[in-house]
Structure 1
Amino acid sequence: MINVIVSYTVKPEFVSENKANIQKFLNDFKNLDQSAFEYKVFVKEDGVTFVHYSNYINEEAQHEVLNIPSFKEFQKLRDESGLNGSHKVEILQPIL
């Protein structure tokens, strides 16, 4: 199992567009095998910091999910919005 947390902060004027872009790829994710991955998105109390939590049964599932065109477009638009170094990717290791 691969577990990942991604967090980033957007400018206040980009929040609505970011939420719309997230909804697009989440809708597309519904067409994938839901038993192979889990993907959830949260916004923190500050209203501008987003946290994406995902887990995948293997690298193949992760690759399939992360290469959906609407997800790649979301990433491009998010990055172009100006994240000011706030983008952080963390791989979580399970406690067995």
Structure 2
Amino acid sequence: MIIVKVTYTVKPEFVQKNQENINLFMADFKKLNTNDFQYVSYLGGDGKTFVHLSHYKNEEIQKHLLQIPSFLSFQKHRDESGLEGAPQIEVMQLVAASQDLFKH
């Protein structure tokens, strides 16, 4: 299992557009209709910091998702928007979960 947490802060005027771009790639992710990954995006209390938490069953599904055109477009627009600092990328390890993350 691969778990990645990405945290970044956008300028206030880009928050709405970033949310729209996230919704676009999430719609494409949902169309895959697979249990091989979980991807969640959050907006922090400051109203401009986003946290993306992704759980991938394996490297194959991770590579596939990261190449989906709407996801690549989201990243491009996010990075070109003038972030308040570089995105923080953290690879994490699962300790415990209240349910199975990947149903067989």
Q: The TM-score by the shorter chain falls in which range?
A: over 0.9
Q: Which residue of 1 aligns with 2:4?
A: 4
Q: Which residue of 1 aligns with 2:44?
A: 44
Question: Gaps spanning 5+ residues in structure 2: where?
Answer: 97-104
Question: TM-score, normalization: structure 1?
Answer: 0.95
Separation in structure 2 between the aligned mates of residue 7 and residue 17 of structure 1, nearest angstrom: 17
Q: Percent identity?
A: 53
Separation in structure 2 between the aligned mates of residue 86 and residue 5 of structure 1, nearest angstrom: 14
Q: Which residue of 2 aligns with 1:61?
A: 61
When Rg is computed on C-alpha atoms for both structures, the one with the higher figure is 2
* Runs ≥4 residues deviating over 2 A: none
Q: Is the 8 A contact 2:56 2:62 kept in 1?
A: yes
Separation in structure 1 between the aligned mates of residue 33 and residue 91 of structure 2, nearest angstrom: 22
Question: TM-score, normalization: structure 2?
Answer: 0.88
* 1:65 CA drift (Å): 0.8
